[in-house]
Structure 1
Amino acid sequence: MSSPAYLTIDEVIERYRGQVSEGTLRNWRSLRIGPSFIKVGKIPLYPVEELDRWDRSNLVVCQRSRISQMNESVIAKLDTPRF
């Protein structure tokens, strides 16, 4: 079975594990912020593709830790053949 192309408000709330409420989604729609949606009659539906795009646009990019970079440096030195 294929995944749905559109999610209802309840499905969007479930997708974000209850961290986004119905009221927040309503406010975002009225302010035209947040994920894009369409309305079928009075029912707002959220295209999964748009939710994925919105997720990517809100991704917080972090730098690797200095320890991780040092560990990679040590591993690279160990992997270098010594003749």
Structure 2
Amino acid sequence: MTEPLYLTPEEVSERFRGAISTGTLANWRAMRVGPAFVKIGKSIVYSVADLNQWANQQTVKCRATNRLNGKEHEQS
């Protein structure tokens, strides 16, 4: 089965295992923060590609990880 191109807010919440509620997504849309979304009429959907890009941007790199990888002097 192929992954859908777009997800509803409920599906986005499920994808992130409930860490992001549909209410949080609604608040983020109102404040124009969070992942990009598409509004078609009254329907809201999120592109899977945009969600992946947004999730990758949320990655936090710890200094200890850099030291372990031999990148002690690099700045993130």
TM-score range for the pair, normalised by the shorter chain length: 0.7 to 0.9
Measure the CA separation in 2 of the matches of 1:22 and 1:45: 12
Residue 80 of structure 1: aligned partner? none
After TM superposition, the score normalised by the length of structure 1 is: 0.74
Q: Alpha-carbon deviations, 1:2-29, whole Å to 9, x = none? A: 2100001110000110111111000000
Show the 5 A alignment for 1:4-83: 4-63=4-63, 64=65
Q: Which runs of 5+ in 1 are unaligned?
A: 70-83
Instruction: Give ranges in structure 2 of 5+ residues lacking alignment.
Output: 70-76
**Greater fraction helix:** 1
Normalised by the length of structure 2, the TM-score is 0.80
| Percent of residue pairs bearing the same amino acid type | 47
Residue 44 of structure 1 aligns to a residue whose secondary structure is strand
Cα displacement (A) at 1:65: 7.9
1:58 and 1:24 mapped to 2: Cα distance?
16
Runs (4+) off by over 3 Å: none
